[in-house]
Amino acid sequence: MDEMTEVRELRAHAPVPDRARLAPGRARLTEAARAGELRRALWRRREFVIVAVVAAVTAVAVTATLLVGGKGTGREVRPAATPGVRFKGVSAAEFLRQAADAVEAQPDGAVPTAKQWIYTKSAQEPLDKSRSLLGEQESWIRYDGSASASRMGDEPLDITKMHLENGGEGDDRSPREMYRVLVALPADGEGTLKALREQNAIADSKGVSQAKNDYVEISVLLSADVMPAKGLASLYRALALLPGGKVTGHLVETAAGGRAIALDYGREENPKTGESMHDQWLIDPKTYRIVGMRLVDGGKVRGGNSVVTTAVVDRAGDRG
């Protein structure tokens, strides 16, 4: 089987990945992001990418990936070794409302200055751990969107100049611009959905339900580099109003070795297996903040990543 050819054909219709997250050093090891993507690349913070091994992805929060057909690749979605929280029988809407109330009460840290950088170290989800090439990845992006940097393993730091603000590079937005959108969101879910629809920052896809287009808008903002507590609470309440969500009844193990609540949202059927694919948002059971995202197909993780650590630093290469 020529798997790489199949991957390219599968991704032929997808938008071009966000270069703010796919700097040259990363681009050599990563390919596409978000299988069956229905949205344009606006406000994208870091792509959840997948290595072409058999053809894994990010976040400070987050990431999604590409699907490869066939069986026997990927790793099983496993419960955490000693799960301390169970949500069996809890609906996605109920969980999200609870999570919104929890994060809304949390204090925010200092907002970065224009010249500061957001540093993220993330652990990639391999398709097959015995053949993984990625491991941990480090990335930096300047708060004003004027540069990004990345490093894989022992490679030298690779810095890319950019101009994300005010539409300087198309649809992409800087962390500062995304933060300004988030802090302005209404507190309630219905108000947030209305605001997002009016802004229509990510053009609605034709032939797709309003709920699916709403999910696309929310999912992009959920991966913002700097997430104010009230903004996250607003997104959770809006997401609670959409269909298709499901909470896994136990904690799951993340690529970073932590335990997380798994919140699933369906995508489309895998054209090769006929099984349903879904996004799986990984949420910290103590803070209710997102710590990763991955794509699951047929009960197996096909790619994604989870956060090891994140910090605001004064220059690219610093780790806080």
Task: Give the pLDDT of residue 33.
Answer: 32
Task: Give the pLDDT of residue 129.
Answer: 52
* Mean of the per-residue pLDDT values of the chain: 74
pLDDT in tens, 70-112: 233 334 444 433 344 556 788 999 999 999 999 999 999 899 9
The rounded distance, in Å, linking the Cα atoms of 3 and 69 is 8
pTM beyond 0.85: the answer is no
- Tell me which of 85-89, 203-207, 211-215, 298-302 is least confident: 85-89
The length of the chain is 320
Burial of 174 (0-12, 13-18, 19+ CB in 10 A): buried
The rounded distance, in Å, linking the Cα atoms of 234 and 228 is 10
pLDDT band at residue 271 under the 50/70/90 scheme = low
Query: Does the structure show a pLDDT above 50 at 211?
Result: yes
Q: Which residue has the tokens 């913070």?
A: 45
Which whole number is the average pLDDT over 220-242? 95
CA Rg value for the chain: 18
The rounded distance, in Å, linking the Cα atoms of 195 and 118 is 27
Task: Give the pLDDT of residue 85.
Answer: 52
Task: Give the pLDDT of residue 151.
Answer: 86
Task: Give the pLDDT of residue 301.
Answer: 86
Q: In terms of Cα–Cα distance, which of 16, 317, 308, 272 is closest to 157? A: 317
Per-residue HEC secondary structure of 146-210 comes to CEEEEEECCCCCEEEECCCHHHCCCCCCCHHHHHHHHHCCCCCHHHHHHHHHHHCCCCCCCCCCH
The rounded distance, in Å, linking the Cα atoms of 116 and 159 is 14
- The number of angstroms, rounded, from the C-alpha of 186 to the middle of its chain's C-alpha atoms is 22
pLDDT in tens, 54-70: 222 233 333 222 112 22
pLDDT in tens, 142-167: 999 999 999 877 788 999 999 888 87
